Amino acid sequence: MAIERTFSIIKPDATARNLTGAVNAMIEKAGLRIVAQKRIRMSRAEAETFYAVHRERPFFGELVEFMISAPVVVQVLEGDNAVAKYREVMGATDPAKAEEGTIRKVHARSIGENTVHGSDAPETAVMEIAQFFSGNEIVG
């Protein structure tokens, strides 16, 4: 299986509750390696660009406000099949529908405040990583 990278965000609901370490423990336990990580305050422009695909959705404004409401931790995760594996570890978007033991089942508060982001495809991961990290910040 190919070693792959995915992009992750530990979202404001998690940093506000001091859950960065708890989320990272679940990521590492699943066999994914955190090869880049930084805590940032996302700007409105960055959040709007990042979620541009959802611009027409009714929750877009709420989503942007949430993402800039507190610090986030942006990360690059590496491992076999990292994109799909992290989606599994995260669980469904709506925590009520997430599998037991997933990050969102354990920690998320609602469909909006759902603790983590993970890329949905390898091509998206490349673009998302490039939005927040330069090459020399990623150390595999």
Beta-sheet pairing, 33-40 with 116-118: unpaired
117 assigned to active site:
yes
Distance of CA 47 to CAs 18, 27, 131, Å?
A: 21, 23, 11
Closer to ligand GDP by CB, 97 or 137: give it: 97
- The radius of gyration of the chain from alpha carbons, rounded to an integer in Å, stands at 14
The residue from 38, 93, 97, 130 that contacts ligand GDP (CB under 6 A) is 93
* DSSP 8-state code for residue 54: G
Told to check if 106 binds ligand GDP by CB under 6 A, we report: no
> Least separation, in Å, of the C-beta of 118 and ligand GDP?
7
Q: Which residues pair with 75 in a beta bridge?
A: 8, 37
Among the residue ranges 2-10, 25-33, 38-46, 107-115, the one whose residues contact ligand GDP (CB under 6 A) = 107-115
Told to check if 117 binds ligand GDP by CB under 6 A, we report: yes
Using DSSP's 3-state secondary structure scheme, residue 91 falls into: coil
State which residue has the least CB distance to ligand GDP.
112
d(CA 35, CA 54): 28
Closer to ligand GDP by CB, 76 or 98: give it: 98
Sites of contact with ligand GDP (CB under 6 A): 54, 59, 62-63, 93, 111-112, 114, 117, 120
